[in-house]
């Protein structure tokens, strides 16, 4: 869930409506891409490796598991494969992957899983970078990813005249990011905006 986009629904809904974007089900937020900056995808992927290892631990080291579990049955994996796993956030200790504790097979499973998960992040952030800085694109965040429990997803919007692109949210594929073509917007959104 993109909380930054969520808090902008009220501010940007008028722009969406003025451009015929009224029918997005399960809307969770907007961002005006003119105000956004590109991200360093390589850095994001590197920073996510410990988090991805934690995901795999919660899946009992089975990348095909549809379930994640914390405690009891998965503590073994967290304690073995994550250095400083139980450290408090304010302790100053940094979590890291304990590659030395892994067999060659376990390393291969983790490397493959990291590669797969990072492919999701790369797709999401390449799309983000593609539209950053443009005053004619509105970002739409919705609970319309391909893993949501409704009978629609972001692909159902591809025939809309405003639709440019879309992909699953890499952190939670029940959400999606869509990009919409809007009339170029150079105006102020509120009193705090600087003059263009």
| Judgement on whether residues 98 and 49 belong to the same structural domain of the protein | yes
Same domain, yes or no, for 69 and 25? no
Is the confidence at residue 159, as pLDDT, over 90? yes
DSSP-assigned letter for residue 182: -
pLDDT band at 23; cut points 50, 70, 90: confident
Spatial CA neighbour of 123 closest among 143, 146, 107, 106: 146
Mean pLDDT along residues 129-135: 95
Q: pLDDT at position 91, please? A: 77
Answer whether residue 124 is part of any domain: no
**Pick the residue with more confidence: 91 or 159?**
159
136 lies in the same domain as 157: yes
Predicted TM-score (pTM) of the model is: 0.79
Q: Which of 98, 119, 140 is the last residue of a domain?
A: 119
188: in domain: no
pLDDT of 193 > 80? The answer is: no
The C-alpha atoms of residue 138 and residue 34 are separated, in whole angstroms, by 8
What pLDDT does 149 receive? Answer: 82
The residue from 95, 119, 143 where one domain ends is 119
Last residue of a domain, one of 71, 95, 119: 119
- Look at residue 147 in the predicted model and tell me its pLDDT: 84
Does the CA dihedral 176-177-180-186 come out positive or negative? positive
Residue range(s) defining the domain that contains residue 7 = 3-37+132-181
Same domain, 48 and 98: yes
Structural domain count of the chain: 2
29 and 49 in a single domain? The answer is no
């Amino acid at each position: 869930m993109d909380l930054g986009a969520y808090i902008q629904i009220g501010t940007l809904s008028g722009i969406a409506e003025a451009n015929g974007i009224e029918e997005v089900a399960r809307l969770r937020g907007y961002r005006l891409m003119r105000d956004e900056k590109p991200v360093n995808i390589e850095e994001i992927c590197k920073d996510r490796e410990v988090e991805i290892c934690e995901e795999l631990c919660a899946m009992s080291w089975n990348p095909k598991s549809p379930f994640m579990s914390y405690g009891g049955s998965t503590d073994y994996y967290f304690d073995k494969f994550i250095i400083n796993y139980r450290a408090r956030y304010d302790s100053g200790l940094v979590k890291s992957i304990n590659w030395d504790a892994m067999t060659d097979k376990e390393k291969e499973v983790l490397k493959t899983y990291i590669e797969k998960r990072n492919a999701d992040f790369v797709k999401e952030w390449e799309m983000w970078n593609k539209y950053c800085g443009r005053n004619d694109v509105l970002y739409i965040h919705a609970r319309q990813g391909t893993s949501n429990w409704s009978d629609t997803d972001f692909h159902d919007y591809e025939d809309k005249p405003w639709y440019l692109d879309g992909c699953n949210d890499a952190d939670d594929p029940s959400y999606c990011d869509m990009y919409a073509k809007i009339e170029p917007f150079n105006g102020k959104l509120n009193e705090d905006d600087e003059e263009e």
